Structure 1
Amino acid sequence: MKEKLFGKTLTELQGVAAELGLPKFTARQIADWLYKKEISSVDEMTNLSKKARELINEKYEFGLTAPSKIQGSTDGTKKYLFPTFQQKFIETAMIPERERNTVCVSSQVGCKMGCLFCMTGKQGFQGQLTAGEIVNQIKSIDEANEVSNIVYMGMGEPFDNLDEVLKSIEILTAGWGFAMSPRRITVSTIGIIPAMLKFLEESEAHLAVSLHTPFNNERRNLMPVEVAYPIEEVIAEIKNWDFGRQRRVSFEYIMFGGLNDSPRHVKELTRLLSGLKCRINLIRFHPVPGTPLKSPGEETIQRFKDELNQKGIFTTIRASRGQDIYAACGLLSTKELLSANNKKQQ
């Protein structure tokens, strides 16, 4: 099986050139074709000699993967399903807004974190995505040339696959790659502290932390990671970090009716985040099969937002998108996974 070129960094491409006995500058030419041009095969790299292309083709392939299914929502959101190894699938969402087009990418196949509210976690952990498979989710969608922002908030925990995530960010932001500003990229985590600190040290992208409740006992029930990395410790580390003027930290807060939407939650969030310049994104919970959780009413969400803003914590409500196309992350891929398993058993 040939190795894929797409997803390699400039340094790795220089290694490819050296291995094949090609001039060092060939690596930058290949990077230009991979990440800046609209081609899909080595043979289309026309500024490389025929001999060079033959040498590359003997061991490598271009490496793009097309989506196997596309679903469009009435609100313009699109869900892309990409095949991976052994009939597994990952999801990518394209979310058009008035002034931006945001792509939500996956970083793993399934997830091992087991959050109560997450459909992806119910699949279990299937495997890691490579940097190429992450970036492919941007390059291989219909709107590839219209993407303005990227969020690592799809399937998986990005900091459980940190090396490949950092590598994908390098490809997206480097001058030889997609040359995007890191300020247009946000990476979400449930709070794996060692990986979070490495990310902050090695990347300039924004950080988003899945919070969901400020109380340890409640968070343990929702997110097993709380046992290893209590949210108090996660936030203490963030407070010690200098984010500068442009880089920002935000907290994702899914609203669960009767669980995390009371005045005492507002009070504890205010204490926990005191002195930290940040924002909270409130997210409506849309029920997934097999969970006892429910969504609060719109009035409750609005009241919660207003009370946090009154306490000086900048808080917004994230608009719900794509509810008619299995919008909750993991629903579409789980459906496809079950379908594939049923076909296998027949």
Structure 2
Amino acid sequence: MAKTPLLGRTLDELKEIVFGLGMPKFTAGQIASWMYGKKVSSIDEMTNLSLKNRELLKASYEIGCSAPVHEMRSADGTVKYLFSVSEGNFVETVYIPEDERATLCVSSQVGCKMNCKFCMTGKQGFAQDLTAAQILNQIYSVPERDTLTNIVFMGMGEPFDNLDEVLRALDVLTSDYGYGWSPKRITVSSVGLRKGLRRFLDLSDCHLAISLHSPFPAQRKELMPAEKAYPIAEIVEELRRYDFSKQRRLSFEYIMFKGVNDSMVYAKELVKLLRGLDCRINLIRFHAIPGADLEGSEPETMLAFRDYLTGHGIFSTIRASRGEDIFAACGMLSTAKRQNIDSE
């Protein structure tokens, strides 16, 4: 019989578990401390629980952590980890060290329903949502876990399409009983699913990043089919209802494709679209993937684009390209692993 993971459980959920097992209420806090504070790998390590209570827990529960099944290390220090989440299904987690920052990019789904033209994960199709335990295990089980300064939900999947589990994971990460992280250390990226967007903004103080990639609806729909259901103009109007000046940062992700969305026409339209909104734009050079007739923009084009946006009131940065020698694009490593399994 498979046991139920304790990892990913909120304090209230842990209280329900210990109550159901006839344990004292304070035991829930002890379990949370062992997992999220001391990061134990087994219930046996919870030595301030009585032997009887440990045995009760072990009968039905386990920590639920598991090590990566594969890793690839880049010359620039970036590490891409592969986690097995179910039979034949894998997710990627990327550790990105840069100066005094150490960022971990985590996944929320196996595959993705959004099918963006430039994304290898979307080409996999959708396989399953990750549980909060599987999301947190990506943080719990990387060797660099104690050096992390930031978490970004920008890996495989659309976080707002699995929002219940993402919110549960965020609660563990930001609560005193859990990791105790400031929400300002966490960014969640989305194409802008409307219902999920509202819930996230109402229930979480973490930073938000919206995938934009073109200010023109017809072209954005070609790059991102989600534009049809979630138009960027409507997303921007929705965002204007919220205050981003204090609690959180709002950013827009803009992958630059050579000759597609990198001329000044696009920069000018972005200024019009986002005028008056307290936000920033992260410009990203495209990492080529199989089957996509797209190329990354030239560095000088990106610099001119950035300078125009910043000069017109929208602070913009160019994200450094990392890990290009280790299947840099999201979804590449997990796709290769699945193909290897299928061919065996």
| Paired residues of 2:205 and 2:247 also in contact (CA < 8 A) | no
Equivalence for 2:263: 262
Deviation at 1:243, TM superposition (A): 2.2
CA deviations on 1:317-338 (whole Å, 9 max, x unpaired) are 0000000011110000000010
What residue number does 1:164 align with?
165
CA–CA distance in structure 2, aligned partners of residues 246 and 190 of structure 1:
21
- For 1:243 and 1:304, locate their aligned partners in 2 and report how far apart those are by CA, in whole Å: 24
Amino acid at match of 1:313: I
Report what 1:206 is aligned to: 207
SS at match of 1:241: coil
Residue 79 (structure 2) pairs with residue 87 (structure 1): no
Task: Map 1:274-285 to 2 at 5 A.
Answer: 274-285=275-286
- Kept in 1, the 8 Å contact 2:184–2:205? The answer is yes
- Counterpart-to-counterpart distance in 1, 2:243 and 2:7: 34
Q: For residue 319 of structure 2, what is the aligned residue in structure 1? A: 318
Q: What does residue 335 of structure 1 align with?
A: 336
Report what 2:197 is aligned to: 196
Cα distance change on mapping 1:38 and 1:167 into 2, 3 Å: closer
Distance 1:296 1:37 in 2: 45
Distance (whole Å) between structure 1 residues aligned to residue 39 and residue 211 of structure 2: 36
Unaligned runs of 5+ in 1: none
What TM-score comes out, normalization by structure 2 length? 0.99
Letter of the aligned partner of 2:334 in structure 1? Answer: S
How many angstroms apart in 1 are the aligned matches of 2:100 and 2:246?
A: 22
Taking only the aligned residue pairs, the percentage that are identical comes to 56
1:53 counterpart letter in structure 2: R
Q: 1:93 & 1:127 partners in 2: Cα distance? A: 20
Q: TM-score, normalised by structure 1?
A: 0.98
Give structure 2 stretches of 5+ with no counterpart.
none
| Length, aligned pairs only | 343
Tell me how far 1:246 sits from its aligned partner: 4.1
* C-alpha distance in 2 between matches for 1:228 and 1:39: 43
Distance across 1 between alignment mates of 2:287 and 2:5 = 38
Check conservation: 2:209, 2:253, Cα contact below 8 A: yes
C-alpha distance in structure 1 between counterparts of 2:245 and 2:176, whole Å: 23
Distance 2:71 2:124 in 1: 21
Where in structure 2 are the equivalents of 1:75-114 lying within 5 Å?
75-114=76-115
Q: Tell me what 1:55 maps to.
A: 56
Q: Is the 8 A contact 2:245 2:278 kept in 1?
A: no
User: Paired residue for 2:230?
Assistant: 229
Q: Which runs of 4 or more aligned residues in structure 1 lie more than 4 Å from their structure 2 counterparts after TM superposition?
A: none
Match of 1:139 in 2: 140
Distance 2:214 2:206 in 1: 24
Question: 1:318 corresponds to which letter in structure 2?
Answer: R
Q: Give CA-to-partner distance per residue, 1:195-233, whole Å, 9 cap, x none.
A: 011000000100000000100000000001100010000
- Bigger mean CA offset, 204-213 vs 31-40: 31-40
Q: Provide Cα deviations, 1:93-117, integer angstroms capped at 9, x if missing partner.
A: 0000112100000000000110000
